[in-house]
């Protein structure tokens, strides 16, 4: 059973914090745990192990990574001056909340020599000569002095029109590998700004009066090309990459409403600062508010072992408030994948809160063929306590239901459908993605009669709906060949039966139009003059033979 929660319920969570009432994050100075803290078992391929787990949260995440992103256009001089003077104090304050925190610095102004008219925005300079749309001034590091040194030379100036290249900076937060996010860390971008991004419908986040500020042109700095960056798409990709946006806003009015809406889509929030001197307090309070609630608490593995953890019930807990220590129970099922060679496999199961690790369990699984005396699986008993006894079950590792799969004609076709008519049996597709696909699935069966490609792409998706595509090698979510947000491609597949699945990210569901193109011998024969000249003699011979029989 999978919990189905609309992504926009999740994105609309309001993180509350009150020092006067004591509500919000309590810094318990405790240690987070998963009980039991280890698994040591023996399995054969295809066999499974089940266990109850208790996650105890008594403190902050294990690690924190915080990027300071500065708008350095002319109106930001007050914020920059305070940031330079108080950088070490700000970082020390954050480390009182998450001791193992790394820090980094990004800066920007706007695109120089840009851009042509687009979506009703006139041709004008986005930025001034010497401006830059994005720069990583310091990758994430534990060295506070290096971070302070990176902030020190930043100065206010430049810019041309009002909007700035904020979208590009947020895009690079998950696209630039040089940032160096750590796997276990709580990932936060703190944006210091006072204007709005370039976008063709800049207020679409909260349904405000349509207004264009021109599109963000992306890395090629040319509008109207494939790498243009719509702000909502970029912010939603921050959420998918478990990066929280916190915004320190030093202006007022509708602009603030926009940034608060955008930040909330990632589980964060915006704060309107009245005086640059308040900067250290504002940053600390934003971090405290962010730590006061875990929007999604879930279990997962380190990269490479996702397909071993085949089921978690419940899939996640929603909106866990950390005003007091919390304990949450999960039931897990671990299976050794079919075809796993003999060996000893060691990995970890983590308790993730919005992408940050709040506890971990060591897992050791021995292949049954390593035991000379017997091939019968054995398990180490679970520690005594409130957890169920572990069991070994040789059950198949698949939950996808293909009984109602819709057949795709040879060569492909176009389908209009709605995932609301589907069922929710699967929340993860391995080894393709670790996204939480807790929405309803719609399944398509593709039969190919020749070696070739299968391409699936959305032609339309209902506004505000986040659907994803998966191509499977069989009716098994653990046999994922390709996946994508808007399209998926699996190349050079041998003839056989494959499946295309449309699923909803974080419980989303809605209507769509899907196009599937597949290899098909029947539609691939070229009808050419040479082909006709070849086939006519064969037909003549067949007619002669028929007359002879008569």
Tokens of 28: 């318990």
Reported as a pLDDT band with limits 50, 70 and 90, residue 536 is low
pLDDT of 450 higher than 70: yes
Distance CA 4, CA 91 (A): 38
Distance CA 125, CA 503 (A): 42
What CATH number is given for 20-59+300-393 in this structure? 2.60.40
Average pLDDT for residues 67-90, to the nearest whole number? Answer: 94
Residue scoring higher pLDDT (547 or 433): 433
pLDDT of residue 466: 86
pTM of the model: 0.64
Tokens of 532: 């006709």
What's the CA angle centered on 307, arms 519 and 485, to 5 degrees? 50
Q: Is 235 left (phi over 0), alpha (psi -120 to 50) or beta?
A: alpha
Average pLDDT for residues 524-530, to the nearest whole number? Answer: 45
pLDDT of 433 higher than 80: no
Per-residue pLDDT tens over the stretch 205-218: 988 678 899 899 99
Per-residue pLDDT tens over the stretch 245-279: 999 999 877 899 999 999 999 999 999 998 999 99
pLDDT of 546 higher than 70: no
Per-residue pLDDT tens over the stretch 181-195: 999 999 999 999 999
Q: Out of 29-38, 116-125, 346-355, 534-543, pick the least confident.
A: 534-543
Q: What are phi and psi of 388, to 5 degrees?
A: -70, 150
pLDDT of 3 higher than 80: no
Q: Out of 48-57, 159-168, 321-330, 381-390, pick the least confident.
A: 381-390
pLDDT of residue 427: 82
Residue scoring higher pLDDT (159 or 213): 213
Q: Alpha carbon of 434 to those of 429, 464, 480: distances in Å?
A: 7, 21, 12
Q: Out of 260-274, 332-346, 378-392, 472-486, pick the least confident.
A: 378-392
Q: What are phi and psi of 79, to 5 degrees?
A: -65, -45
pLDDT of residue 381: 37
Average pLDDT for residues 78-104, to the nearest whole number? Answer: 95
Terminal alpha carbon distance of the chain: 67
What CATH number is given for 63-273 in this structure? 3.40.50.410
Which residues are CB-contacts of 49 (< 8 A; sequence separation ≥ 6)? Answer: 39, 41, 43, 333, 334, 335, 365, 379, 390, 391, 392
Reported as a pLDDT band with limits 50, 70 and 90, residue 524 is very low
pLDDT of residue 434: 64
Reported as a pLDDT band with limits 50, 70 and 90, residue 520 is confident
- HSE at residue 542, side-chain half, CA atoms within 13 A, is 5
pLDDT of residue 372: 39
If you write DSSP's letter for every residue of 460-526 in order, what string do you get?
EE-TT--EEEEEESSS-TT-EEEEESSEEEEEEEPSEEEEEEEEEGGG---EEEEEEEE--STTT--
Q: Can you name the CATH fold of 406-518? A: Jelly Rolls (2.60.120)
pLDDT of residue 19: 33
Closest CA to 483 of 473, 469, 499: 469
Q: Out of 66-70, 353-357, 436-440, pick the least confident.
A: 436-440
pLDDT of 380 higher than 60: no
Distance CA 64, CA 266 (A): 16
Determine what percent of the chain is predicted with pLDDT higher than 90.
Answer: 61
Average pLDDT for residues 366-377, to the nearest whole number? Answer: 59
Number of neighbours of residue 522 by Cβ within 10 angstroms:
10
Average pLDDT for residues 216-244, to the nearest whole number? Answer: 94
pLDDT of 387 higher than 50: no
Average pLDDT for residues 400-422, to the nearest whole number? Answer: 92
Average pLDDT for residues 500-529, to the nearest whole number? Answer: 79
pLDDT of 316 higher than 70: yes
Contact 435, 442 (CB under 8 A): no
Q: What is the length of the chain?
A: 550
Domain ranges of the chain: 20-59+300-393, 63-273, 406-518
Burial letters for 348-367: b for 16+ Cβ neighbours within 10 Å, e otherwise? Answer: bbbbbbbbbbbbbbebebbb
pLDDT of 18 higher than 60: no
Average pLDDT taken over every residue of the chain: 84
Distance CA 130, CA 112 (A): 7
pLDDT of residue 393: 42
pLDDT of residue 260: 94
Rg (the chain; Cα; Å): 27
């Amino acid at each position: 059973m999978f919990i189905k929660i609309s992504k926009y319920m999740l994105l609309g969570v309001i993180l509350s914090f009150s020092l006067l009432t004591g509500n919000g994050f309590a810094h318990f100075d405790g240690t987070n745990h998963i009980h039991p803290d280890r698994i040591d078992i023996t399995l054969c391929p295809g066999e499974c192990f089940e266990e109850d787990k208790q996650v105890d949260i008594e403190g902050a995440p294990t690690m924190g990574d915080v990027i300071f992103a500065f708008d350095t256009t002319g109106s930001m001089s007050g914020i920059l001056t305070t940031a330079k003077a108080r950088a070490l104090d700000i970082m020390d304050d954050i480390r009182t909340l998450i001791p193992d925190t790394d820090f980094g610095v990004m800066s920007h102004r706007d695109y120089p020599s840009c851009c042509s008219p687009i979506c009703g925005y006139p041709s004008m300079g986005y930025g001034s000569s010497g401006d830059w749309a994005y720069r990583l001034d310091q990758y994430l590091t534990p060295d506070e002095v290096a971070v302070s040194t990176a902030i020190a030379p930043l100065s206010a100036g430049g810019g041309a029109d009002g909007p700035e290249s904020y979208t590009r900076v947020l895009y690079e937060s998950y696209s630039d590998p040089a940032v160096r996010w750590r796997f276990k860390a709580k990932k936060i971008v703190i944006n210091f700004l006072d204007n709005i991004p370039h976008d063709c419908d800049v207020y679409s986040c909260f349904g405000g009066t349509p207004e264009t500020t021109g599109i963000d042109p992306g890395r090629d700095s040319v509008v109207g090309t494939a790498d243009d960056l719509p702000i909502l798409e970029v912010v939603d990709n921050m959420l998918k990459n478990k990066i929280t946006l916190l915004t320190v806003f030093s202006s007022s009015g509708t602009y603030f409403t926009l940034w608060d809406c955008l930040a909330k889509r990632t589980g964060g929030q915006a704060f309107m600062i009245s005086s640059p001197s308040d900067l250290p307090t504002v940053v600390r309070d934003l971090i405290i508010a962010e730590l006061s609630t875990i929007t999604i608490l879930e279990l997962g593995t380190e990269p490479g072992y996702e397909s071993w953890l085949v089921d978690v019930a419940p899939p996640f807990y929603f909106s866990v408030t950390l005003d007091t220590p919390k304990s949450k129970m999960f039931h897990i099922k671990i299976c050794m994948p079919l075809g796993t060679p003999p060996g000893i496999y060691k990995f970890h199961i983590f308790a993730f809160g919005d992408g940050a690790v709040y506890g971990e369990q060591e897992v050791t699984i021995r292949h049954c063929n390593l035991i000379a005396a017997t091939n019968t699986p054995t398990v180490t008993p679970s520690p005594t306590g409130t957890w169920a006894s572990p069991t070994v079950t040789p059950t198949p590792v698949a939950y996808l239901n293909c009984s109602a799969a819709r057949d795709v004609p040879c060569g492909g076709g176009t389908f209009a459908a709605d995932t609301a008519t589907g069922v929710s049996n699967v929340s993860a597709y391995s080894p393709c993605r670790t996204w939480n696909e807790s929405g309803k699935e719609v399944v398509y069966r593709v039969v190919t009669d020749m070696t070739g490609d299968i391409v699936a792409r959305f032609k339309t998706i209902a506004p505000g709906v986040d659907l994803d595509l998966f191509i499977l090698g069989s009716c098994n979510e653990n046999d994922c060949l390709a996946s994508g947000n808007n399209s998926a491609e699996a190349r050079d597949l041998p003839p056989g039966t494959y499946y295309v699945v449309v699923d909803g990210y974080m419980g989303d569901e809605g209507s769509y139009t899907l196009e599937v193109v597949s290899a098909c011998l029947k539609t691939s024969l070229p009808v050419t003059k040479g082909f006709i000249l070849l086939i006519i003699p064969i037909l003549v011979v067949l007619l002669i033979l028929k007359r002879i029989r008569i």
